[in-house]
Structure 1
Amino acid sequence: MQNSWRVHLALLAVALIYAANYSLAKDVMPRYAGPFGLIVLRVLPAALIFGLLARLSGGARIEGRADHIRSILCGISGIGLNQLLFFGGLNLTTPINASLTQTVSPIVVLLASALLLGERITRVRASGIAVAGLGAALLISGRGSGGAPLPPTATLGNVLVLLNAVFFGIYLVLVTPLMRKYPPLTVLARIFLVGAVVVLPFGWQQVQLIDYAHLPTGIWVAIVYMVIPLTIFTYLLNNWALKYAAPALLGVYIYLQPVLAALIAVGTGKDAFTWGRALQASLIFLGVWLVSQKPRPAVPLEPVQD
C-alpha cells in the first residue's frame, strides 16, 4: 500500500491526541463545564469550520437518497450519540476505565461489518468476542480492580463509554463508503452539521451556565485542545485514513489509547493503575487480538488418487 506509513503515522497521532483528552477533560468537567455543555463547545465550532472548509475547497456534494440517509446516520452515531455518551460517561468514571472500555470498539466494527458487509465471524473471532466481553464486564462492574475504591458513579460511566464505543464502531463501518466516494471535507461538513443538531438540545442549557469570564487559562487551553486537535485534526486524519485502510485498522489503533491514557493519567495524578486493571486490560486486549485475526481462505479438497 503506497500510503501505508502515512496511514500508520496518522493513526498514531490520533491515538496520542485522544489519549491526552481523557485527563484534560477531567480537568474541565464538572467543575468548569457540564459534559453536554462541553460537547456543544466542541461540536458547534467544528461544524462551522468543516462547513467553511468544504465550501472553500469546492468539493462535491453528497448525492442520492441512500448516501443522504447514510450521512445522517453517520452524524447521529459518529458525532451526536458518540460525543454525548463519551463525555457523559467520562464525567462519571476514571480516565483509565474509560480508555480501557473503549477498546471493545474493534469488536463492534467486526459485528457491524458482519451485519452490514457480510464479513464472516470465525470460531477464533467468536472466542475473542467472549474473552474481551469478560474483561469488559469485569471492568464495567468494578470487580477485581484493586487499589483505591472507584467512584459510585463509575459503573454507569463505564456503561455509557461502552455504548459510545458501540456507536463509534458502527460509525466506522457506515462512513467508509462515503469517504471512498466523496472528499473528506464534504463528508465531515455533513456529519458534523447533523451531530450539532443532535447535541444542541442536550447541551444548550449547560453551555450557558459556564462562567466564561473567570475560566483559568489552563481550562481555556484544554477547551481549545478539544475543538482543534481533538475534533478537527482527529476526524480529518481518521477519515483520510479510511480512504486507504479498512475500518478494522482504525479499531486496532484504539489498543494504544489506554496505554497512552494510563501513562498520562498516572503521570499527572489523575488516576492509578492496578494489577486488577492490568488483568482486565489483558483479557480485553487478548479478545480484541483474536477478533483481529483474519479468517484463512478455504482450501479445496484434493480428489483421492487411486
Structure 2
Amino acid sequence: MKQDVHSPSAHNRHAKGREKLLAHLAMMLFALLIGGSFSLGGLAAQHVPAATLQVMRYLMTIAVLGVMTYGVLRVPFSVPVEPWRFGILGLLMSVYMLTMFLALEITSPVQTGAVFTLMPLMAAGFALVLLGQRTRLGVLASLVIAAIGAIWVIFRGDIGALLRFDVGRGELIYFVGVICHAIYVPLIRKFDRKENPFAFGFWMAVATAFFLLFPAAPQLPTIDYADLPSVVWVALAYLSVVTTAITFLLLQYASLRLPSSKVLAYGYLTPTVVIVMEGLLGHGWASAAVFAGALLTACGLVVMALLPD
C-alpha cells in the first residue's frame, strides 16, 4: 500500500531531512568562518603571546555570550547540572586553542589549516569509542582520500619531505590540539542535557578561559594593551564573536543531527579557504601542488556529504 505523504511518519522523515540539510549548511558556514580565523589569528599572534591572546579572546566571548544569553534571550541564570562536563570540554578546547596559536607563531596558516583537516578521520575513531557510532565504508573511504590530500599540503607538496617525514614543529604542536578537538566533538553529543545552546556555550567559554588562565597568568601584566596594533583588536573581535560564539552554536546544532565524522569533515574546506585568504591579504599564493592537495580534500568532502549516514 502506498504510504500517505501526509502521514506522521512521512512528516517526521521530511522534518529530519530538513534538519540534516540545515546541519550541512551550518557546517559549510562553520568551515568558511574557521578558515578566516587562521589568517587573522596568524596576524595577531605576531604581537601577543598565544596564551594571553586566547584569554583575551575568551573573556570577550564570555561577555558576548553572557549578554546574549541572560540579557537578550532572558535565559534564567543557574549553575549547570553536572558541571564536570564543562571542565572536561573546557580543558580539551583550551589545549586546542593554545596549540593552534603556538603553531601559528612558527608556521604558516596554510600548514595549520591542513593539519586541521586530519580531524574528521580521528573524530570518526573517537565517535566509535565514545558513542558506538560506526562510520559507513564509503564515508570512511572519503575521509581517507581527503586525509591524503591534507598530508600532501602539510608536506608542502614535496615527495622528498614526505619520505623523510620532514614535518615542522608547529604542525606537530597543533596536531596535539587537533586530537583534543576530535575528542571534543563526540563529547558534545554525549554530554548534551537539552540545555539552552547559548547557556551551554557560555559555560563552555567560562571553563575554557579558566584553564587558559594558568599558562597566561605570568604574561598578562606585562602586555601594553594600549599600544597593541589595531589588527590584534580586529582579530580578537572576530575570534570571540565569530569563531567562538557563532561557530560553537553551528557545531552544536550539527553535532546533534549528523555523525561526528561528517560534522568535522567540513574542515576539509579549511586549507582552500586559508589559501584564498592568504592570497587576498597579500601574503602570497600557495604553489599549484599544495593547492591541488587542498582541492583533493574538498572533493573528499563533496563525496562524503552525498553518502548516507
2:45 to 21, 24, 29: 29
What CA deviation, in whole Å up to 9, does each residue of 1:272-291 have, x standing for no partner? 31133235436655777788
1:188/1:36 Cα in 2 relative to 1: closer, same or farther (>3 Å)?
same
Question: Does the CA-based 8 Å contact 2:114-2:151 persist in structure 1?
Answer: no
Question: Equivalents in 1 of 2:191, 2:109: separation in Å?
Answer: 32
Comparing 36-45 with 186-195, which one deviates more in the overlay? 186-195
In 1: Cα distance, 2:89 partner to 2:198 partner:
14
Matched, 1:200 2:218: no
Query: Is this contact kept in 1: 2:275–2:291, CA < 8 A?
Result: no
Tell me the amino acid that sits aligned with residue 14 of structure 1: F
Q: TM-score, normalised by structure 1?
A: 0.78
Structure 2 unaligned blocks of 5 or more: 1-16, 161-165
Cα distance per residue 1:150-181 (max 9 Å; x no partner): xxx97111112222222111111001133462
Normalised by the length of structure 2, the TM-score is 0.78
- Please state if 1:116 is matched with 2:130: yes
Contact 1:179 / 1:242 at 8 angstroms: preserved in 2?
A: no
Aligned twin of 1:225: 238
Query: Matches of 1:162 and 1:119 in 2, distance apart?
Result: 23
Letter paired with 1:184: P
Q: Deviations over 1:22-48 (max 9, x none)?
A: 111222222x21122111111122234
Is the CA contact 1:135–1:281 (under 8 Å) kept in the aligned structure 2?
A: yes
Shift of 1:202: 1.2
Q: Does 1:171 align with 2:189?
A: no
**Total equivalences in the alignment:** 285
Which one-letter code corresponds to 1:238 in the other structure? L
Q: Letter of the aligned partner of 2:80 in structure 1?
A: I
Matching residue of 1:44: 59
Structure 1 unaligned regions, length at least 5: 147-152, 297-306
CA 117–91 in structure 1, closer or farther in 2 if over 3 Å, else same: same
CA distance in 2, matches of 1:131, 1:141: 16
- Contact residue 37 and residue 243 of structure 2 kept, 8 A: yes
Q: CA deviation at 1:295?
A: 8.4
SS in 1 for 2:258: coil
What fraction of aligned residue pairs are identical, expressed as a percent?
Answer: 22
1:43 alignment partner AA? Y
1:194-249 deviations in whole A, cap 9, x for unaligned? 21111111123333333322233343222222221222221122223334333333
CA offset at residue 83 of structure 1? 0.6
**In 2, Cα distance between equivalents of 1:96 and 1:109:** 21
Determine if contact 2:120/2:265 at 8 Å carries over to the other structure: yes
Report the secondary structure of 1:167's partner residue.
helix
Shift of 1:104: 1.1
Deviation, 1:144, is 0.3
For 2:197, which of 172, 184, 187 is the aligned residue?
184
Give RMSD over aligned pairs. Answer: 3.2
CA distance, structure 2, for counterparts of residue 4 and residue 259 of structure 1: 24
Q: Closer, same or farther in 2 for the Cα pair 1:271/1:85, shift >3 Å?
A: farther
| Equivalent residue in structure 1 for 2:84, among 69, 92, 103 | 69
Report the Cα distance in structure 2 between the residues aligned to 1:96 and 1:287, rounded to whole angstroms: 18
Say yes or no: does 1:8 pair with 2:43: no
